[in-house]
A and B are shown apart, each in its own frame.
Chain A
């Protein structure tokens, strides 16, 4: 089994502009079960002659049973798209969009509470499960392999780096998930760790954090008391000075807890295996599992 997505996934796509269309083609190529596309003015048409367009998310859900939604909608309109998917009862919403105003995201977070929807992202590469060939997002399909390592990360390309290292060392992945680089995001490290711990297919977990916030410490506390599987952890930004934002809106050290050294310490105390350099994630897994 994989986590969050798999053979039961029926995906709906919202935001089919240039980038969204390109990525949707890649998801179809990979084998993802895409059942609906949403565009207010394309009702009755088909995306690449395969996927029917609907003018609203609710209609798409009613007609196709879509249970998962991906959002490529531009930042100014992304909040509305997320709310629309929540209202339509989508179980899992993956928002790729970068640069959503933080005031919009705190409203989304508050709106999510009390609903059954889960959110991945925003500002994330999405999720991929190689065995079920389900790719929701932008993680390149050709770099992953089926296997038993669960990968969770705040970053995009650093996740690809970690996956490449795993593959080079002979390890495939059960599920890879990017939870996003924004300070306010949906599914957390802790939520993901819980799912990986329960997932039979996952034998070990790679956790890639970065400077800023205290979500890695929260994850460390959870690992200590609830995770029996080995966790390899890497924190990016050891060399980043405090007070400077390193690209990601969330990657800024504003207090002691945001420091890479503090996160390392918390994870190490929790029993996670820390890599001394982000170049050795794959080797570390090999060392532990062989």
Chain B
């Protein structure tokens, strides 16, 4: 789960990490009031689940409360398109208005889990303010990597090493150690998969402030963080993906494809997507219906695929182990009946109760072509595609 910048900053502040003075709001009027409480210049920042906001007009420097009102009015309610959002962009429902920070020095900091080593890693650099990929490319020697132990944590000597590497004023080193320690503690205690603070600023009067913040939380650990669950913002999800997540379906909308895929198991779902490519098209989605999906869940899954305007053919690939093919077939038939679907469906069904499942599908009103395996499915798909052209 991604957090908004303002939510990430609130968490950091809870752990004692200094953040700029400011507030989040959904109204231009309130933005104006917030600015009045800030002396000097302020920054207004669009709150969306994406980076690259600055380059796409989502971050503005403001010097008056009228400015705050005007900027908030322009940004709020708009769809911000960045290099990460795709062509549709993401809706801006909130803006963060906060005091501008006098920057003396910008530091890059991130904490994440290295999947190959299986340990948390802290990355720091004196080249803050630019993206880490750029630092890695242009000045890799300026990247300081600290490997942490899942059992021991981030040892005090490592905190010292990190702080020393940042060439900050000696008076700030112990303060920096404390802040780094707090960030690591937050990473562990809140089951984060990423904390990125870029930049962590040393101000002209030698204070340390987190000026931007990105935090991702492990979805699998949300069960032990009811407080964090509430921070989920469904408006930042694609519409069909939102519907899928309401039914606990693992679904990803893919741009530019025409073949809707309905599969059990993530690996098989990816392989099925790849088959569409081999047949000369692209997949419209990834969908794993999971092991023991109910008829209700299957119904919704089918409707989500069929409601996707890009989808021209649906490919169902079921290898039922835990899942039961008859339950899946019933779900598809009922959904198709309710929506009076006319979309052609190519089906391969194997495993538990697959004969029953196939006969349920064949006896329905739906446009079903059933094939015995993935290779035949690809061939049928190829034929159907060449017929429609």
A residues near B (Cβ < 8 Å) are 19, 75-76, 99-107, 109-111, 125, 138-140, 143, 153-161, 164-165, 168, 181, 183-184, 208, 210-211, 213-215, 234, 236-241, 243-251, 276-280
For window 143-160 of B, CB contacts with A under 8 Å fall at 149-151
A159 to chain B, nearest CB (A): 7
- Considering only residues 116-150 of chain B, those with a C-beta below 8 Å from chain A are 116, 118-120, 149-150
Nearest Cβ on chain A to B349's Cβ, whole angstroms: 12
Q: Is the CB of B223 within 8 A of A156?
A: no
Report chain A residues within 8 Å CB of B374. Answer: 161, 278-279
A111 touches B321 (CB 8 A): no
Q: Which residue of B lies closest to A188 (CB)?
A: B116
Are A238 and B267 touching (Cβ within 8 A)? Answer: no
A-side contacts of B191, CB under 8 Å:
101-103
Assuming A103-B191, A139-B321, A164-B373, is B220 touching A236 (CB within 8 A)?
no
A215 to B266, CA, bound (A): 18
Interface size range on B against A? 35 or more
Once the chains bind, are A236 and B120 in contact (CB under 8 Å)? no
User: Which of chain B's residues has its CB closest to A255's CB?
Assistant: B133
Known: A102-B221, A158-B265, A277-B378. 17 other contacts (CB 8 A): A100-B220, A101-B221, A106-B113, A106-B150, A109-B150, A125-B321, A153-B267, A158-B267, A160-B351, A237-B270, A240-B273, A246-B266, A248-B266, A278-B274, A278-B275, A279-B275, A279-B377
Interchain CB contact under 8 A, B350 and A138: no
Which residue on chain A has the smallest CB distance to residue B323? A157
- Asked whether A102 and B266 contact (CB < 8 A) given A19-B322, A240-B286, A279-B373, the answer is no
Task: For B377, list chain A residues within 8 Å (CB).
Answer: 279
Residues of chain B within 8 A (CB-CB) of A234 are 271
B268 within 8 A of A: yes
Knowing A103-B191, A140-B321, the reply to whether A247 touches B269 (Cβ < 8 A) is yes
5 CB-based A-B contacts, threshold 8 Å = A103-B218, A156-B268, A164-B350, A236-B274, A250-B115
Expressed in whole angstroms, the Cα–Cα distance for A260 and B342 within the complex equals: 34
How would residues 198 to 235 of chain B score, 1 for a CB under 8 Å from any chain A CB and 0 otherwise? 00000000000000000000101101100000000000
Q: How far is the CB of B185 from chain A (nearest CB, A)?
A: 13
Q: Which residues of B contact A (CB under 8 A)?
A: 84, 113, 115-116, 118-120, 149-151, 188, 191, 193, 218, 220-221, 223-224, 250, 252, 254-255, 257, 263-271, 273-278, 282-283, 286, 288, 292, 319, 321-322, 350-352, 373-375, 377-378
List residues of chain B with CB within 8 A of the CB of A249. Answer: 220
Question: Taking CB as reference atom, which chain B residue is nearest A257?
Answer: B116
Partner of A156, one of B193, B265, B270: B265
Measured between alpha carbons, how far is A209 from B254 in the docked complex, in Å? Answer: 21
The answer to whether A106 touches B119 (Cβ under 8 A) is yes
Q: State whether A138 touches B322 (Cβ < 8 A).
A: yes
Shortest Cβ gap from B276 to chain A (Å):
7
Chain B residues with Cβ under 8 A from A239's Cβ? 254, 257, 270, 273-274, 276-277, 282-283
B373 CB contact (under 8 Å) in A153, A168, A210:
A168
What are the residues of chain A within 8 A of B149 when measuring CB–CB? 110
> Among the listed B115, B351, B378, which residue makes an inter-chain contact with A213, where contact means beta carbons less than 8 Å apart?
B115
B147 to chain A, nearest CB (A): 12
